[in-house]
C-alpha cells in the first residue's frame, strides 16, 4: 500500500482549514446571543484563517504552511473561550483545544503540534494574569493553569 | 531571472509562517484593545494639544468620566460612543477598551473604588 505524504498533508490542511471556517461560522452565530464581542472575535477568527486558506487553495504543504495551520488551530479555540466569558459553559470550550490539537495529526508532522501546544500554554499563562476571565470562569490562578498546562503537555506528547 | 512557481514558493515559504504569526499577534492585540460601544473606554491623548482638549471633550453631555487612567492625562469614560473612536483619533486621542490589560483605572482611583 502506497502513501503519498503530499496528498495526505494536502487533505489534512484542507480539513483543518474547513474546520477553522466552521469556528468562524460558530462564533458569528454566537453573536446572536453574545452581541458585538462575538462579531469582533469572528472577524479575528476569519483573519487567522486567511493564510491557511491560501495554502489550501495553492496546494502548499511545506513545513511553513503546516506551521501556519498549527498557529491557526491553536488560536481559534481561544476566541471561543473569550466569547463564552462569564458563562458556566466557558470551561466546556476548553474541549475544543484538544480537538484542535488532535486535528493537527492530519498534517503528518510533529512541528505544528508542538507549536500549537506552546501557543496554548502561552495563551493560558499570560491571560490567567492579564485577563483571567477570558480563559477561566471565576478566575485563573496558578493551580488551575498548571492543571490545564499538564493536560496540554500530556496530549501534545501523545499526539507527537 | 524569472523563477518558476515552485522556486517562487520556496523562496517566500517562510513568509507564510511569519505572516500567520503576525496576523495572530496583531489580530489578537487589536481584538484585546479595540474599544466596545457598550463598555468603558480609556481615552489616551497622543499629543500635548489633545491632552489639553480632552477634559472639555469628555465633559460634554452623553459621556461620563468614570476614573483616571493609569497613564497621566488619560481618562476612563462611560456612555454612548458610536463613531466616537474615529472622531477622537482625528483629534489625537486614542480610544482603547478599558477592560484590556493595562487600560484600567489608576491605582489611586481603584483604591477609592471607581464606578467601573
**Residue A124 — very low, low, confident or very high, per pLDDT cuts 50/70/90?**
very high
B90 min Cα distance to partner chain A (Å): 23
Work out the average pLDDT over A102-113.
Answer: 95
Chain A residue with minimum CA distance to B22:
A48
**Residue B10 — very low, low, confident or very high, per pLDDT cuts 50/70/90?**
confident
pLDDT at B67 (0 to 100):
80
Domain ranges across chain A: 5-159
pLDDT at B1 (0 to 100):
47
Grid coordinates representing A1 are: 500500500
Work out the average pLDDT over A62-79.
Answer: 94
According to DSSP, the residues that pair with B77 across neighbouring strands are B41, B65
pLDDT at A65 (0 to 100):
93
Of the given ranges (A29-38, A59-68, B82-91), which has the lowest mean pLDDT? B82-91
Q: Which of A122, A127, A144 is nearest to B101 (CA)?
A: A127
Grid coordinates representing B95 are: 480610544
Q: Which of A23, A38, A47 to mutate to test the interface with B (most CBs of B within 10 A)?
A: A47
CB–CB of A36 and B101 under 8 A? Answer: no
The overall average pLDDT reported for chain B is 77
CB–CB of B101 and A130 under 8 A? Answer: yes
Domain ranges across chain B: 1-33, 41-112
Is the confidence at residue B62, as pLDDT, over 70? no
| Number of other residues whose CB lies within 10 A of the CB of residue B55 | 12
pLDDT at A155 (0 to 100):
94
- Alpha carbons B68 and A160: distance in angstroms, whole number: 50
**Percent of chain A's residues with pLDDT above 70:** 99
| Strand-strand pairing, B93-97 and B63-68 | unpaired
Higher pLDDT, A92 or B64: A92
pLDDT at A133 (0 to 100):
84
Is the confidence at residue A13, as pLDDT, over 80? yes
CB–CB of B27 and A48 under 8 A? Answer: yes
Task: Give the count of alpha carbons within 13 A of B100, CB side only.
Answer: 17
Higher pLDDT, B32 or A96: A96
Is the confidence at residue A119, as pLDDT, over 60? yes
Cβ contacts below 8 Å, chain A against chain B, sum to 65
Is the confidence at residue B3, as pLDDT, over 60? no
Chain B residue with minimum CA distance to A74:
B24
- Alpha carbons B96 and B44: distance in angstroms, whole number: 8
Amino acid at each position: 500500500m502506497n502513501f503519498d505524504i503530499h496528498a495526505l498533508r494536502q487533505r489534512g490542511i484542507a480539513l483543518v482549514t474547513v474546520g477553522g471556517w466552521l469556528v468562524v461560522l460558530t462564533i458569528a452565530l454566537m453573536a446572536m446571543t453574545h452581541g458585538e464581542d462575538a462579531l469582533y472575535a469572528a472577524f479575528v477568527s476569519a483573519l487567522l484563517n486567511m493564510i491557511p486558506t491560501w495554502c489550501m487553495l495553492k496546494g502548499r504543504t511545506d513545513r511553513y504552511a503546516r506551521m501556519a495551520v498549527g498557529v491557526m488551530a491553536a488560536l481559534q479555540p481561544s476566541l471561543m473561550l473569550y466569547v463564552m466569558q462569564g458563562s458556566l459553559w466557558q470551561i466546556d470550550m476548553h474541549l475544543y483545544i484538544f480537538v484542535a490539537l488532535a486535528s493537527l495529526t492530519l498534517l503528518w508532522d510533529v512541528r505544528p503540534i508542538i507549536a500549537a501546544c506552546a501557543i496554548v500554554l502561552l495563551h493560558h499563562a499570560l491571560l490567567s494574569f492579564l485577563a483571567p476571565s477570558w480563559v477561566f470562569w471565576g478566575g485563573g490562578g496558578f493551580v488551575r493553569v498548571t492543571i490545564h498546562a499538564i493536560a496540554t503537555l500530556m496530549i501534545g506528547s501523545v499526539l507527537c | 531571472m524569472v523563477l518558476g512557481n515552485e522556486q517562487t514558493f520556496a523562496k517566500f515559504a517562510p513568509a507564510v509562517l511569519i505572516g500567520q504569526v503576525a496576523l495572530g499577534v496583531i489580530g489578537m492585540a487589536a481584538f484585546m484593545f479595540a474599544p466596545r460601544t457598550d463598555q468603558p473606554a480609556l481615552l489616551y491623548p497622543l499629543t500635548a494639544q489633545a491632552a489639553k482638549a480632552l477634559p472639555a471633550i469628555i465633559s460634554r453631555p452623553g459621556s461620563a468620566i468614570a476614573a483616571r487612567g493609569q497613564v497621566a492625562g488619560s481618562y476612563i469614560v462611560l456612555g454612548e460612543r458610536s463613531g466616537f473612536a474615529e472622531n477622537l483619533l482625528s483629534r489625537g486621542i486614542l480610544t482603547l477598551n478599558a477592560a484590556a490589560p493595562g487600560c484600567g483605572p489608576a491605582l489611586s482611583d481603584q483604591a477609592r473604588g471607581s464606578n467601573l
